[in-house]
């Protein structure tokens, strides 16, 4: 099956750009409720699966042994902006582990948080690994590694940490991964089908916290994300703004236009992938799906910033409209 038209950009009454993609909605039993495009699409979840990568942190007992709070767990699922708050929390976490940022294997990049970026520039300081948007996930890996007693190179594919991640990932997706790629933060990213990813989100949505170790882990990670939307991303980011606009829903983006949602009240999990990797299209598409299932108000400012959004130029003139399209918009 081929990708379907999901998001369009209109200018001057004419269609200018089209973003095609795939989406799947699953229930808590892992059954497909609705789908667009190719549900069997093999894809890399990228950072959208950080809550899956964090499952062994809780299932192993490592989180409990370290006394990790919900703030720690939200950071373990985060693609954060590298704000002063994010950096300070990860730094304290590493201090509690008895290590510093040099133990991380995620690499450094300038933070997307404007205030922290300006501070670094004015101080003529280089960013460190704490600023990496994945530093919370890697702090979680280090915590799990300490519990497992593995070597320092916890990102290696045959390391106990990554073996535990793969086992948990395949278990909750209910599929054997066909392979892996290396993510931007240097950790392995296991491929799955889009349905497998949506199925995992549905399993997270159905977790009650009173079942087995995986159920308890999935429930706690979901609730941590819901409780700390800022830590999951940051000011101006779709994950943070849309979670703040809803009650009891966790969402997470990934590079190359992947987005997932965990909806415990509705008992649904969502996964989508925009074929051309467009962030603006992924944000519009997830907003449309969240409105469709009744979790997000169409008229909320965070929604209209992304869905059926008027485009303006540098003078503030209206230039076009970004909207969802065809059967996907119904």
- Tell me the three-class secondary structure of the chain, residue by residue: CCCEEEEEEEECCEEEEEEEEEEEEEECCCCEEEEECCCCCEECCHHHHHHHHCHHHHHCCHHHHHCCCHHHHHHHCCCCCCCHHHHHHHHHHHHHHCCCHHHCCCCCCCCCCHHHHHHHHHHCCCCCHHHCCCHHHHHHHHHHHHHHCCCCCCCCCCCHHHHHHHHHHHHHHCCCCCCEEECCCCCEEECEEHHHHHHHHHHHHHCCCCCCHHHHHHHHHHHHHHHCHHHHCCCCCHHHHHHHCCCCCEEEEECCCEEEEEECCCCEEEEEEECCCCHHHHHHHHHHHHHHCCCCCCCCHHHHCCCCEEEECCCCCEEEEEEECHHHHC
Which has the closest alpha carbon to 180: 3, 44, 8, 327? 44
What is the rounded distance in angstroms from the CA atom of residue 170 to the CA atom of residue 243?
27
- Over residues 211-224, the mean pLDDT reads 97
Res 85: pLDDT: 98
CB atoms within 10 A of CB 293: 18
Q: Is the pLDDT of residue 79 over 90?
A: yes
- Over residues 197-215, the mean pLDDT reads 97
Enter the tokens of residue 4: 């379907």
What is the rounded distance in angstroms from the CA atom of residue 38 to the CA atom of residue 24?
9
Domains and CATH numbers, the chain: 24-307 (3.40.710)
For strands 14-27 and 32-36, give the pairing: antiparallel
Global pTM?
0.97
For the four alpha carbons of 211, 212, 215 and 216, in that order, the dihedral sign comes to: positive
Contact (CB, 8 A) for 131 and 116: yes
Res 326: pLDDT: 81
Enter the tokens of residue 48: 């959208």
Contact (CB, 8 A) for 166 and 177: yes
- Over residues 23-49, the mean pLDDT reads 98
Res 99: pLDDT: 98
Q: How confident is the model at residue 234 (pLDDT cuts 50, 70, 90)?
A: very high
Res 259: pLDDT: 98
Q: How confident is the model at residue 226 (pLDDT cuts 50, 70, 90)?
A: very high
Q: Is the pLDDT of residue 232 over 90?
A: yes
In this predicted model, what pLDDT tens digit does every residue of 146-171 receive, in sequence order? Answer: 999 999 999 999 999 999 999 999 99
Q: Is the pLDDT of residue 53 over 90?
A: yes
Res 78: pLDDT: 98
The separation between CA 134 and the C-alpha centre of its own chain, rounded to angstroms, equals: 11
What is the rounded distance in angstroms from the CA atom of residue 285 to the CA atom of residue 274?
9
- Bridge partners of 4, per DSSP, are 21
Q: Is the pLDDT of residue 11 over 80?
A: yes
B/e letters for 37-54, b = 16+ CB within 10 Å, e = fewer, are bbbebebbbbbbbbbbbb
Contact (CB, 8 A) for 59 and 215: no
Q: How confident is the model at residue 188 (pLDDT cuts 50, 70, 90)?
A: very high
Q: How confident is the model at residue 330 (pLDDT cuts 50, 70, 90)?
A: confident
Res 155: pLDDT: 98
- Over residues 195-202, the mean pLDDT reads 98
Res 29: pLDDT: 97
The separation between CA 212 and the C-alpha centre of its own chain, rounded to angstroms, equals: 24
Q: How confident is the model at residue 1 (pLDDT cuts 50, 70, 90)?
A: confident
In this predicted model, what pLDDT tens digit does every residue of 103-139 receive, in sequence order? Answer: 999 999 999 999 999 999 999 999 999 999 999 999 9
Res 328: pLDDT: 83
State the average pLDDT for the chain: 97
- Bridge partners of 42, per DSSP, are 193
In this predicted model, what pLDDT tens digit does every residue of 261-313 receive, in sequence order? Answer: 999 999 999 999 999 999 999 999 999 999 999 999 999 999 999 999 999 99
What is the rounded distance in angstroms from the CA atom of residue 260 to the CA atom of residue 253?
6
């Amino acid at each position: 099956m081929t990708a379907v038209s999901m998001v369009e950009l209109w200018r001057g009454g004419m269609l200018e750009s089209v973003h095609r993609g795939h989406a799947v909605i699953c229930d808590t039993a892992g059954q497909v409720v609705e789908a667009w495009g190719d549900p069997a699409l093999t894809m890399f979840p990228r950072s959208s699966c950080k809550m899956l990568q964090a499952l062994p942190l809780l299932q192993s007992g490592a989180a409990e042994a370290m006394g990790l709070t919900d703030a720690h767990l939200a950071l373990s699922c985060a693609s954060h902006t590298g704000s002063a708050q994010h950096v300070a929390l990860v730094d304290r976490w590493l201090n509690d582990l008895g290590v510093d940022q040099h133990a991380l294997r995620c690499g450094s990049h300038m933070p997307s948080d404007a205030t922290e970026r300006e501070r670094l520039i004015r101080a003529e300081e280089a960013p460190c690994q704490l600023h990496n948007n994945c530093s919370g996930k890697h702090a979680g890996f280090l915590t799990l590694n300490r519990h497992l007693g593995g070597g320092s190179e916890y990102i290696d594919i045959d390391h106990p940490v990554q073996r535990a991640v793969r086992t948990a990932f395949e278990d909750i997706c209910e599929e054997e991964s066909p392979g892996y790629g290396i993510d931007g933060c240097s950790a392995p990213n296991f491929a799955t089908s889009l349905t497998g990813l949506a199925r995992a989100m549905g399993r997270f949505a159905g977790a009650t916290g009173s079942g087995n170790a995986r159920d308890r882990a999935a429930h706690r990670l979901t609730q941590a994300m819901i409780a700390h939307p800022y830590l999951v991303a940051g000011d101006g980011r779709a994950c943070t703004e849309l979670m703040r606009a809803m009650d009891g829903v966790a969402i997470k983006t990934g590079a190359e236009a992947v987005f997932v949602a965990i909806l415990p009240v509705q008992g649904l999990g969502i996964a989508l992938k925009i074929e051309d990797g467009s962030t603006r299209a992924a944000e519009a598409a997830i907003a449309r799906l969240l409105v469709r299932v009744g979790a997000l108000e169409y008229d909320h400012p965070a929604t209209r910033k992304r869905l059926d959004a008027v485009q303006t130029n540098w003078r503030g003139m209206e230039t076009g409209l970004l909207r969802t399209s065809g059967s996907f918009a119904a």
